[in-house]
With several copies, the nearest count.
Chain A
Amino acid sequence: MTTETVPTSVKTRRNWNFLFALTLVGLLVLLCVALSIATPNFATGNNISNLLRQGSMIAILAIGQTFVIITAGIDLSVGAIVGFSTVVVASLIQSGVPVWIAIIVTLLMGLLIGFFHAFGIVKMGLPPFIITLATLTSLRGIGLLMTNGSTINITDAGFNQFSRESFLGVPNLFWMVIIVAVPAFVFLHLSKWGRYLYAVGSNPEAARLSGVSVPRMIYIAYGLSAMCAAIVGVMLAARLGVGNATQGDGWELQAIASSVIGGTSLFGAVGSVHGPLIGAFILATISNGANLLNVNSFWQRIITGALIIIIVFFDQLRRRSR
């Protein structure tokens, strides 16, 4: 991305210094404080639970997506994988397969889809945009064929119940975020694999010359991203109680946006696990807040767009002034 240093805008910084020093977390907290003042319903335990639930799925997608973006790739298929996974897990459960086996099969299927992407990139030389766009299109078709355009009703009460319950006061869906984010953090920030991922995104030739297997890292990144999407698919199936191939439409853009808001660079080699998490919850908070304030649905879109610009602008300024 062609960014220019901006000597002019520096002047405006004077009185707003405190805003510019805010980290992304700070902006999220600011948003929450503003909403708590604006509406009494925001800071209730119940609403916070809802908020955690609402942001959890995009958050997990965004973490997976971040691995891919760090390698300077992109995964457009995640929304389609979510929809497809709801169909797979629903049809498995409805055909009598034990729930845990159904879940494992679904996750493995996600992993395989990711490996297929990596195969297309590594072996067939396809741009990531193209191979994942193709899967996006095809997977929706396969899912629709499997369900004949309808929804599969999941009658297993325990499976559905899971998404509604809480553990230690925290909704189970948010526990899933923690279960994904902690190993993801260890992987990306504390293990050598994470470092290799950055190296591949930064300079694949340098990585290769250092003995890093670039294809392997591509397989890992796309495999993880697709598996995260399959996890979200299972979560969504549990939450909605149905399998439906058209669900998760457009979530790929939300996941990528969360990741970029969280500081990931689409040119690769820059990104973290916590950034996308915060990005996803910023988006969820905006939409939760707008709903609570009963903002007109059309205004809600306009405001969301404007807030995205403002938040990323402040975050960019902070990064640049570091």
Chain B
Amino acid sequence: MGANLTDLSSGPPHPAGQTSAAALPPHDIILELRDLEKRYGHVQALKKSTLSFRRGEIHAIVGENGAGKSTLIKLLTGVIRRTGGTIIWNGQEVDLATPNEAINHGINAVHQEVVLCRQLSVAANIFLGDENTKWGLLQRREMSRAAQKILDDMGFSLPADALLGTLTIGQQQLVATARASLRGTKFIIFDEPTAYLTRQEAAQLFALIRRLKAEGVTIVYISHRMEEVFELADRVSVLRDGTHVGTRNIEDTNDAELVALMINRTLEQIYHKEEIPFGKTLLQTRNLSGKGFNDVSITVRQGEIVGLYGLIGAGRSEFALSIFGRNPKTSGEILWKEQPVDISNERKAIDLGIALAPESRRDQGLNLNLPIGLNINLPVYDQLMRGPVIDSGEEKRRADAQIRDLQIKTPSRRSLASSMSGGNQQKIVIGKWLNHGAEVFIFDEPTVGVDVGTKAEIYRLFARLLKNGAGIILISSYLPEVYELADTLHVFREGHLVGSQSYRERSHEDILAEAIGV
């Protein structure tokens, strides 16, 4: 798979290319959107857009964070109601006012944020609203067995009886995928399904998508990862600022064109890498063990990006949380600037100069029902106090600075974090630590859901932090990211460090083999 734009634009053969999209007769349009529009108060999330989807195609939608992609999907699945325009399904004008109506037409979606019930089991979630009953009684065992079979068939190794809340976000996303592809789906929308998946799971997902396509199902695929778009899609539509700016057959375009359409300018390079000399050793772990990881020794120096790669559940996040004082270690030690330290809680880690942008923005990263400004400043209120009260001018200034620097798309710092698009929420999670003046930054899946343009900004920001004498631990399940950025790369498998390499001395294949354990 291509690691950067130049690789990709040369274009691998597209497996989905056989279906000649242009040859389809017009009556094979399954869904047509005319002048579709959505306003949230004063925010125009989607401006008059006209789009059509053909039966049995894989139709990718790309666009910047906040371009309106998720909004479009929510309109099609009855989650929210449009404020204007018409929707034509199979030649008939339809309302799509409620989720039920969408479901009855066979329209399903895997939403960007997992919308499932944490307190119910995996099986219960999969069958929610479509329970198997006999004489009014639930057939629990039967459903559990069926759910397990579905999951196994899809290649997802997940326990059907586990409570959903005990799964990681990525696993939850897989459950949502299993759920959406059941029940006689004719039209299925994936909103950044691979954000929390590793290559292996992503490959299983792609297999599933191709199988669905073969069965005649129409697939809409939203992603910020260009190579996925080129690997899967037949056609691709671009949204910019809530407007549909174009649709291309996949053979007729390349990612330079798509990126230009998305952000209205060209981008030479996504992965921004500068040669920065390493300085003092900042953080070391010696044989650190804890719940989920075992015997891990790493070193972070000034100017260094330490990449941690592995499959889902390999234990990297647990390891990071342990360094940060969130989870207790069971053995081993942590050294800060060569001195052993006892990091028994988060405050101690923060006071030493460690920052953690956690993996799950919904569960760990954000206070969703609070304003963006508060979220951004939360770790630094200590620095904002002037006597007994907060310096509100400084508070505003800092929040606005992050919103500007990270191009967070919001009407105001007073908007609630929950009203942001997924990618913009992710920017808040990162942004809240940039004011803090930490020396070691742990970024756990920092660019999940972030658009290409902003990704490039974030990588440039990494370079800035490094030049200021910081070190970075970058946890990512997206191999190109760690591959291109990390100075030292550690591969985790089942809680163990199985390989460590420095920049340039490794290949994709080696890393993958290590991670999967073959």
Contacts and interface: CB of A to CB of B under 8 A. Distances in A.
Given A203-B115, A209-B115, A211-B103, A198 B137 contact: no
Contact of A192 (B133, B345, B369, B370): B133
B335 interface: no
Interface in B345-377: 345-347, 350, 356, 358, 363-370, 374, 377
Nearest to A190: B389
Interface residues of B, number: 52
A191 B388 contact: yes
Contacts of A209: 77, 79, 99, 111, 115, 324, 326, 346, 356, 358, 364-365
B347 A206 contact: no
Given A205-B115, A270-B119, A210 B129 contact: yes
B241 interface: no
B389 A208 contact: no
A195 B130 CA distance: 11
Interface string B363-406: 11111111000100111011011001110100000000000000
Most A-side CB within 10 Å, residue of B119, B136, B356, B363: B119
B100 A207 contact: no
A191 B368 contact: no
B374 A195 contact: yes
B517 to A, nearest CB: 31
Contacts of A198: 117, 119-120, 367, 370, 374
Most B-side CB within 10 Å, residue of A190, A202, A205, A210: A210
Contacts of A154: none
Contacts of B379: 210-211
B474 interface: no
Contacts of B377: 195
A208 B346 contact: yes
A318 to B, nearest CB: 14
A206 B136 CA distance: 23
A94 to B, nearest CB: 38
Given A192-B385, A212-B378, A206 B365 contact: yes
Binding site secondary structure of chain A: helix
Most B-side CB within 10 Å, residue of A199, A202, A205: A202
Interface string A179-217: 000000010001110011011011101111111110000
B432 interface: yes
Contacts of B133: 191-192
Contacts of A169: none
A207 B137 CA distance: 19
Given A202-B119, A209-B99, A269-B117, A191 B390 contact: yes
Contacts of A192: 131, 133, 138, 381-382, 384-385, 390
Interface residues of A, number: 23
A209 B125 CA distance: 12
B370 A269 contact: yes
Contact of B370 (A186, A191, A199, A212): A199
A199 B374 contact: yes
A212 B129 contact: yes
A208 to B, nearest CB: 6
A63 B390 CA distance: 21
Interface string A251-272: 0000000000000000001100
A305 interface: no
A175 to B, nearest CB: 22
A172 B379 CA distance: 41
A7 interface: yes
B118 interface: yes
Given A206-B367, A211-B103, A190 B138 contact: yes
B99 A190 contact: no
Contacts of B323: none
A117 B11 CA distance: 61
A207 B328 contact: no
Contacts of A208: 99, 326, 346
A270 B382 CA distance: 22
B36 interface: no
A207 B389 contact: no
Contacts of A191: 133, 136-138, 385, 388-390
Contacts of B365: 206, 209
Contacts of B130: 210-211
Contacts of A199: 117, 120, 128, 367, 370, 374, 378
B124 interface: yes
Interface of B: 77, 79, 99-100, 103, 111, 115-120, 124-125, 128-131, 133, 136-138, 324, 326, 328, 345-347, 350, 356, 358, 363-370, 374, 377-379, 381-382, 384-385, 388-390, 392, 432
The 8 closest A-B pairs by CB, nearest first: A210-B129, A192-B381, A202-B117, A202-B367, A269-B119, A211-B129, A192-B131, A190-B389
10 contacts: A191-B389, A192-B390, A195-B131, A195-B138, A202-B370, A203-B117, A206-B117, A210-B379, A211-B379, A269-B370
Interface of A: 7, 186, 190-192, 195-196, 198-199, 201-203, 205-213, 269-270
